Structure 1
Amino acid sequence: SAEHPKIQPFGKVPVLEDSEHPGFTTFEARAIARYVENKFKCQGVVLFGSSPTESALLDTWLSVEQSNFDPPASTIAHKTILKAAFGGGGPDADIVAKARESFAKVLEVYEQRTSLGLFEQAGAKDLVDTRPHVKAWFDKITSRPTWVKINAPWVKLISQ
């Protein structure tokens, strides 16, 4: 709506408006999650670790995702799936190759540093298959009912 940019200056979602605090809004998923945790901590809501070390580890990996994982993953998705889906033509091979190289390095760090793990879409399945912990983590995340519900339109688009 025309009102949305007044709440979220970049025109994106998510946005949180708290009816208990008229006029208060925040946006960006991490900011919203921290707000929810702080607001409901007295009710046992813990989203960002229950100790300083847990919080620091979570913050580290959230930062890694934002700075290292998302840029190449988004580039791969945009250049191989979304570009064609929205009539922009085929993938940019050089850009995709560089993103895949960066993404492979990120996944290798994930594989080494965690027994959890991530990503099969956008022609990057081979990057995941050679990293079993990453694949297990990806399978765990993508089988969650909320993930399935939220991502159903994208999965449908990718499957076409």
Structure 2
Amino acid sequence: MKLYYFPPSPNTRKAHAVAIHLELPFDLRLIDLEKGEQRTPEFLKLNPTGRTPVLQDEDFILWESTAIMQYLASQVPNSLWPEDIKSRADITHWQSWELTHWMPACQPLQYENFVKQLLQLGDADPQVVQRTTEIFHKEATMLNTYLAEREFLVNNTLTLADFSVASALTYAVPGRFPLDNYPHIRTWYARIEQLPAWQKTAPPRG
């Protein structure tokens, strides 16, 4: 299998981390978004949206990180993606929440407080930060309460759900996410950060 990836991307990270955690054999193919390699004809044949990650398994091409994670975790028996249909539905529910609600509550803070400065695109827009911060608090309050008596999101064991939801916090520190009042999220994320696969997929510093 080939994984076309861009290391700084949180969506790339969650798929890459799953592959490492499960010790699956795969070849990494770097797609440098900063150089525009996602817009080359060769890559657009793999993913017409021009985004990473993309998985190629012989003649089977798959894009969208959640689908890739589920496909990877279906390769071997494991607890990240258990056979039980209720567990799989619960995992998918958290992955859907991450895409629909959690990432939109995190990504604008990441962009305004970190990416814009990194790329010298100007100062953060205070209106965007304020609006997104309100959304963040709403979603974080729910997540923090849910994690109060749990070590992980589903069945109290590490699953794909944890990789998905944690990915949005990849830039929590430079993005200045307001996590001070959410101790259970911080404790849970610290647990994820101890995973070798998570450490190996940490975005490069520079």
Flag whether TM exceeds 0.5 (same fold): yes
CA contact (8 A) 1:49 1:58 kept: no
Report the alpha carbon displacement of residue 116 of structure 1 after superposing the two structures with TM: 4.2
Greater mean deviation of Cα atoms: 28-37 or 105-114: 28-37
**Is 1:89 aligned to residue 122 of structure 2?**
yes
Partner of 2:54: 15
Partner of 1:61: 94
User: Aligned letter for 1:123?
Assistant: R
User: Aligned letter for 2:66?
Assistant: R
Deviating above 6 A after TM superposition, structure 1's stretches of 4 or more consecutive aligned residues are none
CA–CA distance in 2 between the matches of 1:49 and 1:57? 11
Aligned match of 2:63 in 14, 27, 30? 27
Partner of 1:51: 84
CA contact (8 A) 2:106 2:136 kept: yes
* Cα distance change on mapping 1:144 and 1:110 into 2, 3 Å: same
* Cα distance change on mapping 1:116 and 1:89 into 2, 3 Å: farther
Partner of 1:129: 180
Aligned match of 1:37 in 59, 70, 73? 73
CA–CA distance in 2 between the matches of 1:98 and 1:104? 10
Partner of 2:45: 6
Larger radius of gyration: 1
CA–CA distance in 1 between the matches of 2:189 and 2:71? 26
Question: TM-score, normalised on structure 2?
Answer: 0.64
Report the alpha carbon displacement of residue 10 of structure 1 after superposing the two structures with TM: 1.8
Partner of 2:193: 142
CA–CA distance in 2 between the matches of 1:144 and 1:152? 15
Question: TM-score, normalised on structure 1?
Answer: 0.81
Q: Which consecutive unaligned segments of at least 5 residues does structure 1 have? A: none
CA contact (8 A) 2:117 2:123 kept: yes
Report the alpha carbon displacement of residue 89 of structure 1 after superposing the two structures with TM: 0.6
The structure with the greater share of residues assigned to strand is 2
Q: How does 1:93-112 map to 2 (within 5 A)?
A: 93-112=126-145
CA deviation vs aligned residue, 1:76-113 (integer Å, no higher than 9, x gap)? 00011001111111100110011111011111000112
CA RMSD of aligned residues (A): 2.0
CA deviation vs aligned residue, 1:48-75 (integer Å, no higher than 9, x gap)? 3332221121111111111111012000
Q: Which consecutive unaligned segments of at least 5 residues does structure 2 have? A: 1-36, 153-165
Paired positions, count = 147
SS in structure 1 at match of 2:50: coil
CA–CA distance in 1 between the matches of 2:199 and 2:87? 28
CA–CA distance in 2 between the matches of 1:101 and 1:116? 26
User: Aligned letter for 1:24?
Assistant: F
User: Aligned letter for 1:10?
Assistant: T
CA–CA distance in 1 between the matches of 2:122 and 2:151? 35
